Chains A and B, each alone.
Chain A
Amino acid sequence: MSVKKVSAVALAAAMLVSMAACSQSSSSTASSSAASSSADSSAASSETASTSSEAASTEFSYPMEGDKTLTYWVGVSVSNYNDNNAKLPMWQKMMEDTGVTIEFIHPVVGQEQENFNLMLASGDYADIIESKYALPATMLDDGIIIDLTEILPQYAPNLYNYLQENPEIDRQVKNDDGQYLLFPFIRPDPLLQVSSGPIVRKDWLDQLGMELPETIDEWTAMLTGFRDQCGATVPLCFAASTDLDRMMYAWETVNTFVNENGTVEYGYLRDGYKAFLQQMNAWYTEGLLDPNYPSSTRQILDTNILTGVSGATYGSGGSYLGAWLTAKPAEPASYDLTGLKYPVLEKGTTNKHGNNVQFEFSDSNGWAMITTQCEDVETAARFLDYGYTEAGHMLLNFGIEGESYTMVDGVPTYTEAMFNDPDGKSVSDTLGYYVRATGSGPFVQDPGYILQYYETQQQKDALALWSDQEHQSTKMPPIVHTTEEATEYSSIMNDIETYIKEQQVQFVTGTKSFDEFDAFIEQINKMNIARAIEIKQNALDRYNAR
């Protein structure tokens, strides 16, 4: 054990050095959290290594013998250039390594739900389905997929052992009856669990002589400075009105349900919500918040951020921060952006309500299931389990050694060709030929991917700042509703959410006075929020009992 720890620390140190080498301006928070994450990942990978050696002792080894063919229903990768996954080097390698030939069935991009429904209607399923278009529990009840509880220990030892060693992830993957229904997509590292957060103009902060603001009061000072000294006419702007809700986290509440030590609460009924509305109203009145925020769009935000109309917003590291840094205007030459930690009320505390943070198990996409029409369940399970082996982990995250990555000081590093495609393809497209890490799928994602994928230092720093929160402590875990629960829940919540959305705009813009706030809360109670909370509570109790 101690040997493992030492090696992890050594690896972490190596990573730290290489990080520091590629950038001198790396902030201390960024490098320290990167170091801790690489320690996690190296620990995780040594675990994977040990499990694969156990698998070897059961006398099974890849590639499998015989002429095995499976059909696989999955969205096409690099869809703008490629029409069949079988043409991609990554899948070819995976077929070669496992000894299984895969015939892909690809839904049409943008018509996935229709294509999926039609496949079910035709009664002719692929052997493996990778789809988020129906709930696994429903598909099991409908006899479309098989229960994997018995299969995993037998034919998917790598995944099974990984789950046994990580009981928290195991709890997320299982259903309430303790069954395994799918091969999950797992993001084991905090850096992979958050992809967006506050973004502000760094050069303006420098001009104002301010440090990165951490509290709401500092935010007010920053926005006022942007307005008075930097010429921002709309200091705080969002791409969509729902992004305003991210500010709620500072008041320890969220725009959905909260898991307060096992008790479910509704975010809008928590104490902080009124204070949040009052602060937003104050910003709105003082001209700090975009007066058109309820109807704002991505295009307006792009223009505002790039032309100095706005200085603070919320967005993701890739298509927002990265895109703006690439498109940054010639004037002023100092133009620069930075990520910010999620704000809090009291200095020195850490945000606990980052609701945009994901859990390790992605319950929204990327999982694979074996259907009842699969004649060779063992082959299918073994093929999918390959993604969780050491070799599969490297292949799905980094691709083929010598082509898409090389080992530099023991760290897999993408080759230069991935970043400078002669045909002008984007990084996510060139990488898409070799890895699945840019998207999702049945494997364990590696944080080494995102740190290389984000090309600029600002993005890497932003990721470290955004992930610096006690995430997961209050977020609702991936609970599952029964069909009856889901119907009742959505009929209650549709009305409540519409009502709140309407009212929130009125409070923020001041059309409604805060004298009416109590009546507003009472109305939510009248709309039977108690039943919705009860449904969530039951599901959470079942989850915790898994």
Chain B
Amino acid sequence: MANNKIKIGLPERIFDVFNVIFMFLLCIIMLYPFLYVIFASFSEPAKLMAHSGMLLSPQGLSLDAYESVLQNPRVWTGYKNTIIYVLFGTAFNIVMTVLCAYGLSRKGLMFTRVITIMIVFTMYFSGGMIPTYLVVRGLGLYNSRLALIIPGAINTFNMIIMRTAMAAVPDSLEESARLEGASHLQVLFKIMIPVTMPTIAVLILYYGVGHWNAWFNASIYLSDPAKQPLQLFLRQILITANMGDMAGSSSEDQALLAETIKYATIVVATVPILVLYPFLQKYFVKGVMVGSLKG
């Protein structure tokens, strides 16, 4: 290896230096907001209030905000609900997406083109919030946990990725199974799913992260706070903290602690999914390739 060394010219070295510096700066810009939130969440409220400029370390050290957040029953109901939506929602998404994609990827399905156009149509046009709401309500899903699971069961874009992945599987695999007398179900479960597992893993991530971060549908379909996910509560904390400033009648200690509670809630609501990212990153990279190369 050593004797095969390629000589790197000066311009390239200069480029590398600047490239590395540039990337470092970019990293810092990306990282700083996270660090700011973490530092602020551990700060003493009064000191944080008097602080100006960049926040490079916690101002004082206080766990009051975390104590307040973790003692809050609404945080825990939120967590429970979010986990329910992530687990069951993602499972349902995957089942529906795989079934739909399998059907559309088979040759000889009648009206494939028409069905595909109709499905793709929904990517660009939607019925609007109120009609959708009325449909969900009319189906009796209002204020039911299913309202967050059923209406968004298939994401068109994800379904197309899945269909493309299945269409790319060589026909001979399926043909040989059919000759042995396998049914469509057997082909799907014994051949297609094992072969397209990497794509499915990526979709699990897309759907899972989507469910974790979702709040809007919950805000219109779920009026019962006992069923609302954590992100909706997080949003509420952020909004009420801002409203307190304007209303002018919130009390002093609330105005003080509200600021750090806000940051502590962000940390509590974000860290679990954040910790997962590094482990799952390789699938994300794969996912991007699935979309660009074969789609």
Contact = CB atoms under 8 A, between A and B. Distances in A.
B189 to A, nearest CB: 41
A426 B225 CA distance: 22
Given A81-B74, A83-B74, A455 B225 contact: no
A423 B70 CA distance: 11
Contact of B71 (A298, A423, A429): A423
Q: Is the interface of B mostly helix, strand, loop or mixed?
A: helix
Given A80-B240, A122-B134, A302-B50, A323 B252 contact: yes
Interface string B238-255: 011000110111111111
Given A122-B133, A318-B248, A323-B49, A429 B236 contact: no
B50 A307 contact: yes
A111 B252 contact: no
Given A80-B74, A121-B130, A327 B240 contact: no
Nearest to B248: A316
A14 to B, nearest CB: 26
B235 A110 contact: yes
A326 B46 contact: yes
Given A115-B219, A196-B248, A327-B45, A122 B236 contact: no
Interface in B187-227: 218-220, 222-226
Contacts of B222: 108
Given A79-B236, A426-B251, A428-B250, A327 B256 contact: yes
B254 A428 contact: yes
B137 interface: yes
B251 A122 contact: no
A391 to B, nearest CB: 25
Contacts of A329: 50
B236 A110 contact: yes
B52 A307 contact: yes
B232 interface: yes
Given A83-B74, A424-B67, A300 B49 contact: no
A322 B255 contact: yes
Contacts of A83: 74, 77, 224-226
A302 B46 CA distance: 10
B49 to A, nearest CB: 5
B38 interface: no
Contact of A427 (B50, B68, B225, B253): B253
Which of B51, B137, B249: most chain A Cβ within 10 A?
B249
A24 interface: no
A369 B72 CA distance: 33
Interface string A308-330: 00000001111111110111110
A118 B232 contact: no
A117 B128 CA distance: 13
A114 B223 contact: no
A438 B254 contact: no
Contacts of A320: 248, 255
Contact of B249 (A107, A195, A298): A195
Contacts of B130: 117-118, 121
B250 A319 contact: yes
A83 B74 CA distance: 8
B223 A105 contact: yes
Interface string A83-123: 11000000000000000000001111111001101100110
Given A81-B72, A114-B219, A427 B46 contact: no
Interface string B40-57: 000001100111100000
Contacts of B218: 108
B23 to A, nearest CB: 31
A76 interface: yes
A455 B252 contact: yes
A429 B240 contact: no
B158 interface: no
A386 interface: no
A453 interface: yes
A123 to B, nearest CB: 9
Contacts of B133: 118, 121-122
A408 to B, nearest CB: 21
Given A114-B220, A118-B130, 8 more contacts: A79-B236, A81-B72, A108-B218, A110-B219, A319-B244, A327-B46, A327-B49, A455-B252
7 contacts: A79-B240, A80-B236, A80-B237, A106-B225, A122-B134, A239-B245, A316-B248
Interface of B: 45-46, 49-52, 64, 67-68, 71-74, 77, 129-130, 133-134, 137, 218-220, 222-226, 228, 232, 235-237, 239-240, 244-245, 247-257
Q: Which A-B residue pairs are the 8 nearest by beta carbons? A: A322-B252, A316-B248, A83-B225, A426-B254, A327-B46, A319-B255, A303-B52, A306-B50
